Chains A and B, each alone.
Chain A
């Protein structure tokens, strides 16, 4: 029997920043374990904010986000680092530690967990091999290309064998070849059962994936299709006045 309980569930979630900037408006949806979900929408539509609510970098103004049916906002701040080990994150700017080599960057995620050195020395090369960086383990981020840096970042996200991978515009700074590489890796990770949530505004990727697509416009879900295509948000009059007539 597959697990029928959603791994992530948004319940009437609204996020507003002071003074009165409502970024997300009354969102409700669920993501099941093992799903590959693309989150689309133009920049500034609230994709990153939505993801931050999942990895507890932000808390909802109203409503609640559940992880395995446990409310995330109720997690004690002290336990936040432990909770975050369930979620691997990948960002547009890679977020690698510049003073550490590829190996050390990945190892860091295990070190903070108090794992044995032997274990780290065995697991880190293995994961770097998977993302195709076996021969560049001891290079510093500035010695690697953008695509390679993103693969280090992905290796780090995977090292805890997280249940969920969150990728916020992971290909935003990459050339088409590297983009393809990263997406292929995300698909591979997903095929092993890891839930992947990918925020992007790359139409080609979304159409190529042929997986679930949630489209955000003006902080609200405008479409949620299980074999979706990229949805171009229709301009609304109240947001952008008509300029070309």
Chain B
């Protein structure tokens, strides 16, 4: 009998959802909007974080050597540095010829630059070691160690100062966006809960006369309430699916903009890689909001 009643209240909820077409549509739309805003602010926060992290990871320190230092000496130093695997993840040797090649390639084979170099007559660039740290926090230590090392006299310059400023700026941006994201996200979630709650309350309010009738013909409070709980589940589920579709649309449009800017490649990959995590969270949040609002809203009409 319990299962029969549960099944009936479930059917009742489905039927209400269908027969109250417009109201269901409006409620699901509002819930979708709420979920969309919340998930979008969360995803944008995450993307910003990933972009900054990616930029940080691309930063390297390059140590340039005096023109008179022999290649063997530089390779020796490279081997020495490569031993510090805890702090240094890679050391790459760029010879003077390679540096020139890269420089010309970077300038887009600009004839003015090629001409200028030809006029100088010799390669003006220096050989260097490009050091990539395990984490960006290691750079100050690495630079300190190199500056006080036995080969300090061979070094022409370390381009750390410029990079250091970039680091600091990135760190500031990261902290700021995290704070703003957290603040905005919390605010949006709060607004979403309020709007959803009120919308569902209006939906239930429009049914209030029916509760009286249902109780009058012998329905228990539980029997009156349960269909609305199932309806709440349905609101949440539909809203989660719609939100997922909208997010797909967003991902599709901004994927080209984020190409290469985040470790996952682009925003679409980020979305697809985490598809089930996002869907699961949305369904959970949607159902939670839908059911909680339904239960709270109906409570006041079922007294006595």
Contact = CB atoms under 8 A, between A and B. Distances in A.
Interface of A: 55, 57, 77-78, 81-82, 84-85, 89, 95-99, 108-109, 111-114, 116-117, 156, 160
24 contacts: A55-B216, A78-B220, A81-B215, A81-B218, A81-B219, A81-B220, A82-B218, A84-B215, A84-B216, A84-B218, A95-B213, A95-B216, A97-B213, A99-B15, A99-B19, A108-B219, A112-B214, A112-B217, A112-B218, A112-B219, A112-B220, A114-B1, A114-B4, A114-B5
> For A82, A111, A113, A160, which residue has the most chain B Cβ atoms within 10 angstroms?
A111
Smallest CB-CB A-B distances: 4 pairs: A112-B219, A109-B217, A114-B1, A85-B218
Contacts of A85: 218
Interface in B172-218: 210, 212-218
B220 to A, nearest CB: 5
Contacts of A57: 216
A116 B5 CA distance: 10
Interface in B2-16: 4-5, 8, 15-16
Contacts of A111: 5, 8
B85 interface: no
Given A114-B1, A114-B4, A97 B210 contact: yes
B223 interface: yes
Contacts of B19: 99
B240 to A, nearest CB: 25
Nearest to B1: A114
Interface of B: 1, 4-5, 8, 15-16, 19-20, 210, 212-220, 223, 304
A156 B215 CA distance: 13
B218 A77 contact: no
A116 B3 CA distance: 12
Contacts of B16: 99
Given A77-B304, A114-B1, A114-B5, A156 B210 contact: no
A89 B223 contact: no
Contacts of B1: 114
A89 B5 CA distance: 23
A160 B212 CA distance: 18
Nearest to B5: A114
B21 to A, nearest CB: 11
A112 to B, nearest CB: 4
Contact of A99 (B20, B212, B304): B20
A169 to B, nearest CB: 16
Contacts of A156: 217
A160 B218 contact: yes
Contact of A112 (B15, B210, B223, B304): B223
Contacts of B219: 81, 108, 112
A84 B210 contact: no
A84 B221 CA distance: 14
Nearest to B2: A114
A65 B40 CA distance: 61
B203 to A, nearest CB: 12
A77 B210 CA distance: 19
Best-buried of B4, B15, B218 by chain A (most CB within 10 Å): B218
B214 A97 contact: yes
A223 B303 CA distance: 37
Contacts of A117: 4
A147 B8 CA distance: 29
B210 A89 contact: no
A89 B214 contact: no
Given A95-B216, A112-B218, 16 more contacts: A78-B220, A81-B215, A81-B218, A84-B215, A85-B218, A95-B212, A97-B213, A98-B210, A99-B16, A99-B20, A99-B210, A108-B219, A111-B5, A112-B217, A117-B4, A156-B217
